[in-house]
Amino acid sequence: MAVAAAAAVGARRGRNRGQLLVVEQELSRKAKENDAKRQQNEVAQSILDKYDADKNGTLSPKELKAMLADYSLHRFKAEVRPTAEDLVFLFRLFDNGGKAGGGKADGVIDRSEILSILGAWGDFMKQKEIVQNLSSKFDKDDNHAIDEEELQVSVASLIPCDTGCDEQIARQARDHKVGHARGGCLWQRHSQ
């Protein structure tokens, strides 16, 4: 009887210890997650402090352009200034009004949107050579743009797809106003 009681107590203690370990692991995971978020917020705030010339707590397109140019030089050792088209593209992707804007574009980039833009710009810089090669290969009329017909030819040569998917990509690039070269690049990355 004493052995059975000791076994029951041991089992209960083991179960309690196991539950405690699970809770401790979850708390540790959440603490690390919170620490990472805090660090990201600090980085975003330091970027905002440096580039927010009018000190309104957001970045205008002009301020964002300066930030991205400096980021390109620092991170990629390349002097790349975002074009007006680049800025429009980034604002369409990431300007969601932040917390105060309730998810609607407000024409400025706030602290919560900065790191997403840096990530996208970094990806763009890494893919820039690919885009330039695609553009030189498929820009048959040398107008420094990929029109809808050129995009269809490029997509068809890069990615075997069902009939009509190249037309669908061109239509989406046109409808979303992201530019045909970017549309082709996005499709290529999506397909890999």
* pLDDT one-digit tens code per residue, 170-187: 566 666 555 555 555 555
Q: Note whether 153 and 120 are same-domain residues.
A: no
Residue with tokens 């030189």: 136
pLDDT band at 138 (very low <50, low <70, confident <90, very high): confident
Tens-digit pLDDT profile for residues 39-81: 988 988 999 999 999 999 999 999 999 999 999 999 888 888 9
CA distance 73 to 125: 11
CA distance 179 to 170: 9
Q: Note whether 79 and 128 are same-domain residues.
A: yes
Contact 111, 57 (CB under 8 A): yes
Q: Note whether 133 and 144 are same-domain residues.
A: no
Tokens of 113: 């949107």
Predicted TM-score (pTM) above 0.75: no
Query: Which domain, by its residues, includes 68?
Result: 2-138
For residue 79, the cross-strand partners are: none
pLDDT band at 134 (very low <50, low <70, confident <90, very high): confident
Residue with tokens 């927010």: 52
Q: Note whether 154 and 73 are same-domain residues.
A: no
Q: Note whether 84 and 162 are same-domain residues.
A: no
pLDDT score, position 72:
92
CATH number at residue 58: 1.10.238.10
Q: Note whether 133 and 186 are same-domain residues.
A: no
58 phi and psi, to 5 degrees?
A: -140, 170
How many domains are there within the chain?
Answer: 2
Alpha-carbon dihedral 91, 92, 93, 97, rounded to 10 degrees = 70
Q: Note whether 44 and 109 are same-domain residues.
A: yes
Q: Note whether 33 and 76 are same-domain residues.
A: yes
